[in-house]
Structure 1
Amino acid sequence: MKFKYIIFIFCILFVNVYAQSPVWKISKNGSHLFIAGTIHLLNKNDYPLPKAFDYAYKRSSTIVFEADTNKFSQASFRPLILRKTLYSKNKTLEDYLDYKTLKELKVYLKKENIPYSNVAKFKPGMLSITLMMQELKKLSLLGIGVDEYYSKKALKDKKKIKFLESVFKQLDFLSNMGKNNESAFVKYMLKDLNNIEKEFSLMKEAWRQGNNEALKKVSLDSWKDKFPKLYHSLLIKRNKAWMPKIVKMLANKEVEFILFGALHLVGEHGVLSLLEKKGYKVENIN
């Protein structure tokens, strides 16, 4: 979600010409479920969500999320998070970043009044998440996201809840983000932070409209080209791992509503494309 580049005119071309939503019905042989692309952080102005979300939620008995991310806030989980996302022993970012990138990082931190010592031991993934959250907080964009909203709602309504992967796997992804390519990753992140307000707005616009082609160009293409290994591990590999679970759900009598990050839906390696290739009917709910 952090990697977004596109010219302003592209947004103009797609505004108000899409009457879709980020919610899809998947069906075959009389069985169906719903899939929705989500954004993990929103603000109060982004609510209410498109009506298609509640349409799918009300017609589903089981709600499925990427992982049980509530565990990240548990005190017992904190030592593992620190072990995975911080450099061990005497290692710091200075051991992995080239001189120019380290200098750019320190200039950014000074501008934001963040002591370098506060982040010196952060691995690139943790550094990226921390600084992005800081920027979003300044823009009042650090509110409850779609996943958290429906997680709380499902618990309140006592619906069944399932997960596509473990939080340990998600933590591994975060730990390895930018590994062996630290300078390029951090340099790209710093450029992205300077444009985060405009690009986050473009991304949300494409997401709300269910415009996967626009979302792909806004959020995915430059990341895919610059960091192919990361693209493979965070999207392609995970999408393929989820497919057998989704297909199994489509074979049972329950109706599931599956929610995961919107970028997992888009492109030739996206979940929707993979399902279509397997002969499933994919319909947008609007």
Structure 2
Amino acid sequence: MHRLFGFLVAALSALGVAAPAAVEARPVPLLWQVETADGRTHALLGSIHVMRAEDYPLAPAVEEAFARAGHVVFELDPTEATSPTTALRLATAAQAPAGEDLASLLGSDYASFERVAAAQGVPAAALRGMRPWFASLTLALSAASRAGLESSRGVDMVLMQRAREAGKRTSGLERADDQIRALSGAPLREQLAGLRRVVAEPARLHEDVLRLHALWRAGDADGLVAAVAEELAEQPETYRRINVERNRAWLPRVEALLRGDDDVLIVVGALHLVGDDGLVAALRERGWSVTRVVEAEK
């Protein structure tokens, strides 16, 4: 989430099938280096949670940061991120309260929702008893898959596997319950605003997912901030919960890691690093030396 979502979710929706990607240059990573007073070098990497096979290999600067790191940190500890228990807790949080379903919440828009779900190959009946945020997430991930973008190829999932294989220490910045609360706790009116946008503007959805993917590939931090601001314009509380509050909660943990004995690579959704609300700006405000690494690779 997803987690850009700042979670990819609210900003990541698509309809239709994208044409196969042409062979492209390697993605320009959203990668920052943190230099400490004792000479240690840490790295912050902005990930995208759904990718294509053509997005690999990663840039040399990312490979160097991964090789150097003794400790690789993700939003969630890899064990928890891949646990069936986590999936069960997510499914439980997605259930609508008794007496409430999407048909009653959407009213006359429910028929359009059924058509959009069918176009994604998702049975609308299976989502009827779910909260609007979960319906949006399900449609988004299904649509991304139809566009050739898969969560199994996301930067975080790939680096989790590689860290396990290399025997590197791994951990997470938060627990799964924290992440689930960030999504499920958004105001109902904002959840519905996001879902109604999906229903009302299906033609834009395909463009949105490809635009976000292209911005990430280009390493365009400002473009990502602008795109997500547009997507979440009607959901300010959702944005606050999934991005601002979580970044603030993570900051003490990030600083503790930077003061530790290991060289650290921190891999989080790109939205958590960029812009005025991102961790990069917060660390600079607190006196850390944080520089973008990849300018020469553009």
The CA deviation at 1:72 is 5.6
Which residue in the other structure is 1:186 paired with? 195
Are residue 207 (structure 1) and residue 216 (structure 2) matched? yes
Are residue 104 (structure 1) and residue 99 (structure 2) matched? no
Q: Is the 8 A contact 2:33 2:291 kept in 1?
A: yes
Residue in structure 2 matching 1:268, options 258, 261, 276: 276
In 1: Cα distance, 2:206 partner to 2:58 partner: 20
Q: Deviations over 1:102-143 (max 9, x none)?
A: 232123234445432111011112111111121122222224
In 2: Cα distance, 1:94 partner to 1:242 partner: 37
Q: Deviations over 1:73-122 (max 9, x none)?
A: 5444444332211114343112333x243232123234445432111011
Alpha carbons of structure 1 residues 254 and 70: separation in structure 2 relative to 1, 3 Å: closer
Q: Considering only aligned residues, what root-mean-square deviation do their CA atoms show, in Å?
A: 2.5
Q: Is the 8 A contact 1:101 1:186 kept in 2?
A: no
Which residue in the other structure is 1:128 paired with? 136
Aligned length: 272
In 2: Cα distance, 1:144 partner to 1:70 partner: 17
Q: Is the 8 A contact 2:71 2:168 kept in 1?
A: yes
- Structure 1 unaligned segments of length 5 or more: list them: 6-15
Alpha carbons of structure 1 residues 249 and 178: separation in structure 2 relative to 1, 3 Å: same
In 2: Cα distance, 1:182 partner to 1:200 partner: 19
Question: Residues 12-91 of structure 1 correspond to what in structure 2 (within 5 A)?
Answer: 21-30=29-38, 31-68=40-77, 71=80, 73-91=82-100
Which residue in the other structure is 2:171 paired with? 162
In 2: Cα distance, 1:193 partner to 1:154 partner: 38
- Structure 2 unaligned segments of length 5 or more: list them: 1-7, 14-23
Q: Is the 8 A contact 1:66 1:260 kept in 2?
A: yes
Alpha carbons of structure 1 residues 257 and 215: separation in structure 2 relative to 1, 3 Å: same
Which residue in the other structure is 1:3 paired with? 11
Q: Is the 8 A contact 1:125 1:178 kept in 2?
A: no
SS at match of 1:225: coil
- Give the TM-score normalised by structure 1: 0.86
SS at match of 1:164: strand
In 2: Cα distance, 1:22 partner to 1:223 partner: 20
- Give the TM-score normalised by structure 2: 0.82
The CA deviation at 1:69 is 5.7
Alpha carbons of structure 1 residues 82 and 43: separation in structure 2 relative to 1, 3 Å: same
Q: Percent identity?
A: 21
Residue in structure 2 matching 1:243, options 234, 251, 256: 251
Q: Is the 8 A contact 2:163 2:169 kept in 1?
A: yes
Q: Is the 8 A contact 1:84 1:171 kept in 2?
A: yes
Are residue 285 (structure 1) and residue 293 (structure 2) matched? yes
Q: Is the 8 A contact 1:85 1:174 kept in 2?
A: no
Q: Is the 8 A contact 1:132 1:193 kept in 2?
A: no
Which amino acid letter does the alignment assign opposite residue 103 of structure 1?
Answer: A
